[in-house]
Homo-oligomer: A and B are copies of this chain.
Amino acid sequence: MDVATLCLAVLAHGPASGYEIKKELEDGAYSHFFRASFGSIYPALARLAQEGFVTGREQEQAKRPDKKVYRLTPAGKRELSRRLQAPIGPDYIRSEFLLVLFHAELLPARHRRALIEERIRQLQACIAEMTGGGEAACNRYEGSGPAFVHGYGLAIYKAELDYLDSQRRFFDLPGANAA
User: Which A residues lie at the B interface, using CB under 8 A?
Assistant: 1, 6, 9, 12, 29-30, 32-35, 80-81, 84-85, 88-89, 91-108, 111, 115, 141, 143-146, 148-149, 151-153, 155-156, 158-160, 162-163, 167, 170
Which of B91, B101, B148, B155 interacts with A148 by CB under 8 Å? B101
Question: Cβ of B159 and Cβ of A155 under 8 Å apart?
Answer: yes
Question: Cβ of A145 and Cβ of B84 under 8 Å apart?
Answer: no
Minimum CB–CB distance from A138 to chain B (whole Å) comes to 16
Question: Cβ of A102 and Cβ of B145 under 8 Å apart?
Answer: yes
A106, closest chain B residue (CB): B81
Apart from A9-B102, A35-B92, A84-B103, what 15 extra A-B contacts exist at CB < 8 Å? A1-B96, A6-B99, A9-B103, A32-B93, A33-B94, A34-B99, A84-B99, A84-B107, A85-B111, A92-B93, A92-B95, A98-B152, A98-B153, A105-B143, A152-B160
